[in-house]
Structure 1
Amino acid sequence: MPSIDDFATWEPVLRLLRAANARSLAVPGGHVSGRIGNGWSLPLPRRIPSPGQAARTEDIRDELDAVERVRSALADAGSGSISFAARIAPSGRTVLDLFGSSVAVESGIGGPHPGSLVLVEDAVPEPWRRLPDPAPEAVPSPSVDRAALERTLRERIPDAVGAPEEEIAATEARLGVPLPDELKVLYRVTRAKWRNSRADRGAAMRVEDAVGCEVFSLDGLYVADASSRPCLWQFAAMEAVETSPDAEVQGIVGSPGWIAFGDNGGGDRIAVDLTPGPRGHIGQIIMLSHEENVGADIVADSLTDLVMRRPDERRGNRRGDEPSAVAWVNHVSVKSVRAAAHHGLEALSIGVCDGEPFSLAPLVGLPRLRTLGARAGTLADPLEIAELTRLEFLRLGPEDWRVLLDAGAVPRGLAAAFIEVAGDRHPAPVVDLANELLGLWDRPPIPRTTLEGDLGPAT
């Protein structure tokens, strides 16, 4: 097989793209671009199946074969993904730009442009650095009844095989935290360890019915700390930790006291909470949604409550009347930067708005502002960003980044940055801009290779 830097590797993909995008390629500056990795994003049409029919592999066989040729070359090179852009002349002469991966750049979403630039090695957003607040007055729920819990479980699953004490002790050593007493009761009744057999699948369903959720084996238990909920910088930077005085669950990303032991069957984790909110109980049962990055919902005051089918109907973290730490300025939300500014503001995103561009003057001096994002054309003077000295994440369009770079005004306190690209721009100038930013922090650049070849005249 030819290598990833061999034009022949790309010819089948390029021929498909030329046939599907002839009109856009013919205009001045016309190009096609995409990304190929475990999945792929290519500007190719797809046949829509008839009602009641599924899409068929045969309908995209040429695309699959062309992509697999590139993916095989990527695997040989030890690379996970690659972005590209190609200009294809009517004669077939082609200039193909390839953009590799850098450990300092997160993967982009779908398209060919770079994701967030991690300017400080291993940096994570502030919410992912937050530990739970201490709750010295928290106590277990009065509903905890270990004897009733064990008796009920043994009645519901009489044929279950429990875990020996040495397995429980080994799990505690692996996790680095003692298991709560109720959780020990559960695993003394059932190991919840299944093989892929019909009998074991039936046993697993009986345990699920008995407990009220899918139960992990001891090997599957994990501490649901912040690292267990990874999130790209561009989204994570717009999150905030907010816990009201009457919250049962702390509004944090994760906690060393959240021990995940099960699943609701839809990808949401069920955990014992040993670091509850101000109004919560030690050992309460919470659910971590797979669709959210921060916080959890309370399910029951205890594992006893969960098994006894006494779930708590309260949901999530109730907030007080104080303004949110995250604000979105646009034509359907907050209408101005001044209206969004307040002492506790941590993250601000400026989107599509009516009227004149905004001054950032109302934000100067805010003690907690760490994230700013601004759509192209929404800032009256990008150089005002230099006055926001506590920023750790900045999202701007290429033109605003250019203003900051030319003035030497890129905030050096940034831990990560994002170049927001609108429309069908060629990735090369964006990658060059990204590498310029990475260079300010002496971070590894995005590799770029240019290949030339000839596809011949289109038939």
Structure 2
Amino acid sequence: MPSIHDFATWEPLLRLVQAHQTERLAAPGGYLTGHISHGSWSVPVRWPDPRPGQALLVEDMQAEFDAVERVQHALRADGMDGISFMVESGPDGKTVLNLFDAGPAVESDIGSPYLGALVLVEGAVPEPWRRLPEPVPGAGPAPSADLTLLERTLRERLPDAIGATEAEIAETEARLGVVLPDELKVLYRVTRARWQDWGDDYDYEAEDRVADAVGCELFALDGLYIADAKSRLCPWRYAATEAVVTSPDAAVQGLVGSPGWIVFGDNGGGDRMAVDLTPGPAGHTGQIIMIGHEQNVGAELIADSVTDLVLDRRRRDRGGRPWEQPPVVARVNVRSLDSVEAAAHPELEVLGIGVWEGEPLGLAPVVGLPRLRTLRASPGTLADPLEIAELTGLEYLGLGPEEWRVLLDAGAVPRSVSAAVIEVKGDRHPLPIVALANELLALWDRPRITRTVLEGRLGPAA
């Protein structure tokens, strides 16, 4: 298989792009963009219309799948995670392919022809991902936690289950670096939930019996893990706009993750079930929480104890979502707050300026706020980008190309920033955006985005 930098690797995909986008490529200055990684892709190939009364079939898109798979194979062979590309047609009939290797300092942003966040400080993570749980003096197990009742109920429901030995439990505690709570130990002493214990062939009925007995899809003992912040991956572009807030009446702390969240199961839909050893002010040690796979912060209270979970005495408490609301997170746009003044508050951490129809906005009202760490401003919404230099606590900054140009020319890019994004509105040629990104990366002496240009003529389809 040719390398990712061989025109032959791309020829089947380029032929498809040319066939589907002939007019756009033939237009003066015409170009098309896309991105391919190991598990996903966004390419400028139109899917066919389905037959009347039918859904699209795999065979309808097989040519695209095969062409993308060829590129993915080359990525794996060359040890690359992904690559962005831009296709142009030269005046002499040649096809020009620009390949962009973002390198280790740029996060992938599938679906966008431009760039994800530029990570300017190696290893940096947003503030919510650095936040640890607060101590809650006096927190203890729920009155409903009953080890005797829990064990009796589980043994009645799973009379033939194979339980974990004390040595296996101790091994798990050593691996996790935490002592398992007593209720979880009781649960695994009854069943260690290993599929190998259910016969030579995977016994789905046995798995279902365990799930019905426990109240969730139970992980094997050696599948337990700690849902700390590192386990909840999120790109800077989105993570920097999150905040960690725990209200005084919250049962669960509004964290990204915690060293006291021990995941032991799943609800069947990708949401993780965990025992919570670091509860909120109104919670109990050992309560059961559900960590949603569609949220980046917080968890939902499911039951006050493992006993309550098994006996189906659930207490669904989503609580409020203070980390998404003013004054900590504020959004100024045509649908939300109508001014920067309205967003200004000593607790403000995240300020987003979105679609705006009025005069450009000034940032003076938020200068000097002690906790402001994130600013995202859509292109053209700021009256004077140089005011950003006065926001000395920023760790994340998202601006349009023109605003970045003003800061770069003035030498006023805040050095406190750990990650940055170039916000692109409308159809902008990628090359100037890549050049701008490389200027920002150079300020922090980070690896640059590299560009490789390939040229060739597309032969007839094989």
TM-score of the superposed pair, with normalisation by structure 1:
0.96
Counterpart position of 2:12: 12
The 8 Å contact of residues 258 and 273 in structure 1, kept in 2 or not, is answered as yes
Measure, in 2, the Cα distance between the counterparts of 1:68 and 1:223.
35
Counterpart position of 1:340: 343
- Deviation at residue 324 of structure 1 after TM alignment: 3.3
1:269 aligns with 2:272: yes
For residues 157-176 of structure 1, give each alpha carbon's deviation from its aligned partner in whole angstroms, at most 9, with x where no partner exists: 11111101100000000000
Measure, in 1, the Cα distance between the counterparts of 2:147 and 2:53.
52
Counterpart position of 2:203: 200
The 8 Å contact of residues 327 and 343 in structure 2, kept in 1 or not, is answered as no
Counterpart position of 1:123: 124
The 1:319/1:70 distance shift into structure 2, 3 A limit, reads closer
- Deviation at residue 94 of structure 1 after TM alignment: 2.7
Aligned residues: 458
Counterpart position of 2:32: 32
Counterpart position of 1:63: 64
Measure, in 2, the Cα distance between the counterparts of 1:414 and 1:48.
46
One-letter amino acid of the structure 2 residue matched with residue 119 of structure 1: L
The 8 Å contact of residues 33 and 426 in structure 1, kept in 2 or not, is answered as no
- Deviation at residue 199 of structure 1 after TM alignment: 6.2
Counterpart position of 1:168: 169
Measure, in 1, the Cα distance between the counterparts of 2:356 and 2:179.
52
SS of 1:239's equivalent?
Answer: coil
Measure, in 2, the Cα distance between the counterparts of 1:78 and 1:54.
36
Bigger mean CA deviation after superposition, 97-106 or 184-193: 97-106
Measure, in 2, the Cα distance between the counterparts of 1:456 and 1:201.
51
1:310 aligns with 2:313: yes
- Deviation at residue 28 of structure 1 after TM alignment: 2.4
The 8 Å contact of residues 297 and 317 in structure 1, kept in 2 or not, is answered as no
Measure, in 2, the Cα distance between the counterparts of 1:52 and 1:86.
35
In the TM superposition, 1:103-182 aligns within 5 A as 103-182=104-183
SS of 2:402's equivalent?
Answer: helix
Counterpart position of 1:410: 413
Measure, in 2, the Cα distance between the counterparts of 1:126 and 1:31.
38
Q: Which runs of 5+ in 2 are unaligned?
A: none
The 8 Å contact of residues 92 and 455 in structure 1, kept in 2 or not, is answered as no
For residues 220-279 of structure 1, give each alpha carbon's deviation from its aligned partner in whole angstroms, at most 9, with x where no partner exists: 100111001010000000000010011110001110011010111001111111100011
Between the two proteins, what is the percent identity of the paired residues? 66
The 1:47/1:361 distance shift into structure 2, 3 A limit, reads same
TM-score of the superposed pair, with normalisation by structure 2:
0.95
Measure, in 2, the Cα distance between the counterparts of 1:221 and 1:298.
19
Measure, in 1, the Cα distance between the counterparts of 2:188 and 2:353.
50
Q: Which runs of 5+ in 1 are unaligned?
A: none
SS of 2:203's equivalent?
Answer: helix
- Deviation at residue 156 of structure 1 after TM alignment: 1.0
- Deviation at residue 321 of structure 1 after TM alignment: 13
For residues 46-96 of structure 1, give each alpha carbon's deviation from its aligned partner in whole angstroms, at most 9, with x where no partner exists: 013236534223222332332233223222211121111121046422322
1:72 aligns with 2:76: no
SS of 2:262's equivalent?
Answer: strand
Counterpart position of 1:330: 333
Counterpart position of 1:21: 21
Measure, in 1, the Cα distance between the counterparts of 2:321 and 2:442.
44
- Deviation at residue 211 of structure 1 after TM alignment: 1.0
Measure, in 2, the Cα distance between the counterparts of 1:377 and 1:31.
25
The 1:199/1:396 distance shift into structure 2, 3 A limit, reads closer
- Deviation at residue 329 of structure 1 after TM alignment: 1.0
The 8 Å contact of residues 90 and 457 in structure 1, kept in 2 or not, is answered as no
- Deviation at residue 320 of structure 1 after TM alignment: 11
SS of 2:145's equivalent?
Answer: coil
The 8 Å contact of residues 247 and 277 in structure 1, kept in 2 or not, is answered as yes
SS of 2:85's equivalent?
Answer: strand
The 1:6/1:65 distance shift into structure 2, 3 A limit, reads same
The 8 Å contact of residues 133 and 255 in structure 2, kept in 1 or not, is answered as yes
- Deviation at residue 18 of structure 1 after TM alignment: 1.8
For residues 191-240 of structure 1, give each alpha carbon's deviation from its aligned partner in whole angstroms, at most 9, with x where no partner exists: 11114866632111111111111111111100111001010000000000
Superposed CA RMSD in Å reads: 2.0
Bigger mean CA deviation after superposition, 212-221 or 420-429: 420-429
The 8 Å contact of residues 254 and 323 in structure 2, kept in 1 or not, is answered as no
- Deviation at residue 425 of structure 1 after TM alignment: 2.3
